[in-house]
Structure 1
Amino acid sequence: MGWKTLDDMDIAGKRVLVRVDINVPVEDGQVTDATRITRIVPTVHDILAKGGTPVLLAHFGRPKGKVNLEMSLRQVLPALRDALGRSVAFVETLDAAETFTQEVAEADVVLIENIRFHAGEEANDPDFAARLARLGDVYCNDAFSAAHRAHASTEGVAAHLPSCAGRLMQAELSALEAALSSPERPVGAVVGGAKVSTKIALLENLVNRLDLLVIGGGMANTFLVAQGAQLGASLCEDDHLDTARDILAQAAKAGCRVILPVDGLVATEFKAGAAHSAVLLTAQTVLDADQMVLDAGPETTEQVSIAFDGLKTLIWNGPMGAFEIAPFDTATVAAARKAASLTKDGSLISVAGGGDTVAALNQAGAADDFTYISTAGGAFLEWMEGKTLPGVAALGG
């Protein structure tokens, strides 16, 4: 761990510039999911407890460097105040942030308007980063979900101020290092989702680090077709058959066991409650032109469950089937509950991330028992791909 935390910083009487991610869904002016807001509470409360003043920098949407009041952070202010239980002052411009009014100075926490209203943010303009640095005495990055972006508020400003990771960033990095950098072995992963093409770098990195790889979702079809199966109307990327074969060859060379579906739930229409049957899946399988594999079958689910029993660490990214519609959520739910049970018993460290993943684990009622669930999408994937994240590297990690 090369990065510092709040425990390493002297922040009493200082302004702490905190990069947070409170880019939450809003409908009709109301925050509909405050998860990202509640996750920054420990960092803000710690800074206050240490005598510092948190000055929050955040983005909302993609205003592309221009003021767009439809993307104003003012919309999240009520939810932020509720979550923190403290007074939060809203500052509309950087000019105003440079000379706090008495009202702002007396607030417990300061929130500055959408940092992406400034073109210098996404351009990582050095002058803009220096301007941001003048707003604080210490820099704290608590936005792992934005750490894969080399922006002024995630990377540039760290060059100008003593810097550290916030509690959420600290938890995220610790969990990911425990899962991938120095895991308890045997270590396995579930990688699912629709397309191989979006997970190539991830799979290529993981097969050289894992003892077990479970491939699920629509992307598993591409691997099966690459081995000779004819899967009718199933989702398949025909232009990535060679990629699938290469990944399987890499896994074999690295000694990583790969579990592909050996059976699947097959239907002729993609809708909830569609008539379906369990079909064996082999290199010789030939489905009718209108048939499609929408979930892993019971035999596959059993194999995965048994394999989980032999693991010490599990990484999860992506569902094992079309989990949005029953009964094609069956394999995902069963595997998620198995992983959650093993984690609760203390025999498994489980780390999950990615939008569909979080939704699937919540649907299974398994999320609360996982060791750690990341709310970061792109940053989680890039870390798992073995890439250096600018926002983490800037902290010295």
Structure 2
Amino acid sequence: MPQFPTLDQADVKGKRVLVRLDLNVPLDNGTVSDATRIERAKPTVTELSAKGAKVILLSHFGRPKGRDPKESLKPVADAAARIFGKPVAFADDCVGASAEQAVAAMKAGDILCLENTRFHKEEEKNDPAFVAALAKLGDVYVNDAFSAAHRAHASTEGLAHKLPAYAGRSLQAELEALGKALETPRRPVAAIVGGAKISTKLDLLGNLLKKVDSLIIGGAMANTFLLAQGKPVGKSLVERDLIATAQQIMRQAAEANREIVLPVDVVVAQKFEANAPSRAVGVDQVGADDMILDIGPKSIEHVVSVLARSKTLVWNGPFGAFEMEPFDTGTVAVAEAAAELTGAGKLVSIAGGGDTVAAVNAAGVGDRLTYVSTAGGAFLEWLEGKALPGVEALKKP
């Protein structure tokens, strides 16, 4: 990966440091219900504060159309203060007089959160005048928001061209983990790609086929591949218009000497509801009224054996309807095996994407994998081989 400057190279003492975080966290009645993203920002914010910087936090929140009190960052700033263990002042705008006055009142080590950048439509347009108005508030720019790095917005990309720019600790950890996964991996490399639709992951499958040794396909996506092999899928979720695409992917894999791992047995039920009567059957024995809702025990064994002979794993997407028992068995069993191999030093395991994070956390192994990315779109675009504007802007020429 091309070198990007980190906080190790930044001179921040006494300087105004604009720190782009992703504070777009879920709120429930004005209270943060999942503070993971704030917790991940803590090392960067507290390090800058301890080094005597004036730490000025920037973030978007939701998708407001102009100023909207319901989309204010104020309750998030209050939660951040508790997590950082330091007061976090708040300015009711991110540019203009109120922001400038709040910044002017700061002392070394202080933390200030500016209001939602998306209250200004110029943020998403990466408008040069808006970038300049933000840049006026700082001397140094730090990006610690990998999950927003796929967007070329004013606060994620524009600022990096106006001020000395550095990667924060969370962004640094993410880029180093991803580099280990696909750019300089220990081989063999396995990838698990699950989820409902091939159509949303065509670029991903195409890029991974070039990079990995084994491509393990799970979730409803696998049903389309099974149908493409002439297997019965009953009433399962499939994309019939993508059968030819699935066949083409399998041909490309064979030509490139890449292994595609599909289920050999599946768990089926006739109703998609919790604890519905279910049974495991071979992929040739799926009945006309059956729905495939998970991989079966032989498939679990096969996937685990592939992981056991791999050195690196990239995981995006669950195996079955993991949010509903008993159809979480496959995902949980594979997650547990990946965690054990990681703990034994035999596997570098990188997981990411919304459903994947929920799945590994539900399996209780989120803290036992090498790295779990909370970034959804940015993680996927990176896996697809796309350049991320917020990262590209940091790279040294």
State the SS of the aligned residue for 2:102. coil
SS across alignment from 1:207: helix
For 1:297-343, what per-residue CA distance to the aligned partner results, in whole angstroms no more than 9, with x for missing partners?
A: 00000001111110110001000111011111111100000000000
The residue aligned with 2:54 is 53
The one-letter code of the counterpart of 2:359 is A
Distance 1:134 1:164, change over 3 A: same
Q: Distance in 2 between matches of 1:351 and 1:20?
A: 22
What is residue 11 of structure 2 aligned with on the other side? 10
Pick which of 337-346 and 74-83 moved more.
74-83
Q: Could you tell me which amino acid in structure 1 is paired with residue 182 of structure 2?
A: L
- In structure 2, the CA distance between the partners of 1:194 and 1:380, relative to structure 1 (3 Å rule), is same
Q: Contact between 1:87 and 1:107, CA under 8 Å: does it hold in 2?
A: no
Match of 1:249 in 2: 251
CA distance in 1, matches of 2:105, 2:162: 28
Post-superposition Cα deviations, 1:123-148, rounded to whole Å, max 9, x if no partner, equal: 01011111111110000000000000
> Residue 292 of structure 1 aligns to which amino acid in structure 2?
M
Q: In structure 1, what is the equivalent of residue 63 of structure 2?
A: 62
Deviation digits for residues 137-185 of structure 1 (CA, Å, limit 9, x no counterpart): 0000000000000000000111110001000000000000100111010
Count how many residue pairs are aligned between Structure 1 and Structure 2.
393
- Structure 1 residue 78 corresponds to structure 2 residue 78: yes
- Unaligned stretches of 5+ in structure 1? none
Q: What is the match of residue 288 of structure 2?
A: 289
AA of the residue aligned to 2:333: A
Question: Separation in 1 of the partners of 2:149 and 2:104?
Answer: 33
Equivalent residue letter for 2:230 = G
Q: d(CA) in 1 for partners of 2:102 and 2:294? A: 56
Say whether 1:126 aligns with 2:125: no
Aligned to 1:350: 349
Using the TM superposition, give the Cα deviation of residue 76 of structure 1 relative to its aligned residue in structure 2, in angstroms.
Answer: 1.0
Offset, 1:214: 0.6
Cα offset, 1:104, TM superposition = 4.8
From 139, 142, 145, give the equivalent of 1:140: 142
CA shift, 1:49, in A, is: 2.0
C-alpha separation in 2, matches of 1:212 and 1:106: 51
Task: Report the Cα offset of residue 78 of structure 1.
Answer: 2.0
Contact (CA 8 Å) 2:49, 2:109: kept in 1 or not? no
Aligned to 1:42: 43
Measured in 2, the distance between the counterparts of 1:106 and 1:47 equals: 10
Q: Secondary structure at the match of 1:369?
A: coil
State the Cα distance separating 1:106 from its structure 2 match. Answer: 7.6
Please tell me whether residue 115 in structure 1 is matched to residue 95 in structure 2.
Answer: no
User: Partners of 1:50 and 1:261 in 2: how far apart?
Assistant: 53
Distance in 1, Cα, partners of 2:147 & 2:179: 16
Displacement after TM superposition at 1:98 (Å): 1.8
1:383: which partner in 2? 382
Extract unaligned runs of 5+ from structure 2: none
Q: Secondary structure at the match of 2:200?
A: coil
Q: What is the CA–CA distance in structure 2 between the aligned matches of 1:250 and 1:12, rounded to whole Å?
A: 54
1:396 offset after TM fit, Å? 1.2
- Give the 3-state SS of the residue equivalent to 1:77 in structure 2: helix
What's the secondary structure of 2:82's corresponding residue? helix
Distance 1:20 1:126 in 2: 20
Letter of the 1:299 counterpart:
K
Distance in 1 separating the partners of 2:44 and 2:359 = 28
Q: Are 1:321 and 2:320 counterparts? A: yes
- Give the TM-score normalised by the residue count of structure 1: 0.97
* Structure 1 match to 2:187: 185
Partners of 2:142 and 2:369 lie apart in 1 by 27
Quote the Cα distance in structure 2 between the aligned partners of 1:250 and 1:351. Answer: 25
RMSD (Å) for aligned C-alpha atoms: 1.3
Counterpart for residue 29 of structure 1: 30
Per the TM alignment, residue 100 of structure 1 is displaced from its structure 2 partner at its CA by 2.9
Q: Specify the code of the residue in structure 2 equivalent to 1:9.
A: A
1:233 and 1:138 map into 2 onto residues whose CA distance is: 57
Task: Establish whether residue 89 from structure 1 lines up as the match of residue 89 from structure 2.
Answer: yes
Contact 1:207-1:251 within 8 A present in 2 as well = yes
CA contact (8 A) 1:89 1:104 kept: no
- How far apart, in 2, do the equivalents of 1:149 and 1:51 lie? 30
SS in 2 for 1:290: coil
SS at match of 1:39: helix
Identity of aligned residues (%): 56
Say whether the 8 Å CA contact 1:89–1:107 is kept in structure 2: no
Q: Please give the TM-score of this superposition, normalised by the length of structure 2.
A: 0.97
Please name the residue that 1:229 is paired with: 231
Which AA in structure 1 matches 2:384? E
Distance of 2:354 and 2:280 partners within structure 1: 28
Aligned in 2, Cα 1:190/1:122: closer, same or farther, shift over 3 Å? same
Asked whether the 8 Å contact 2:314–2:349 carries over to 1, the reply is yes
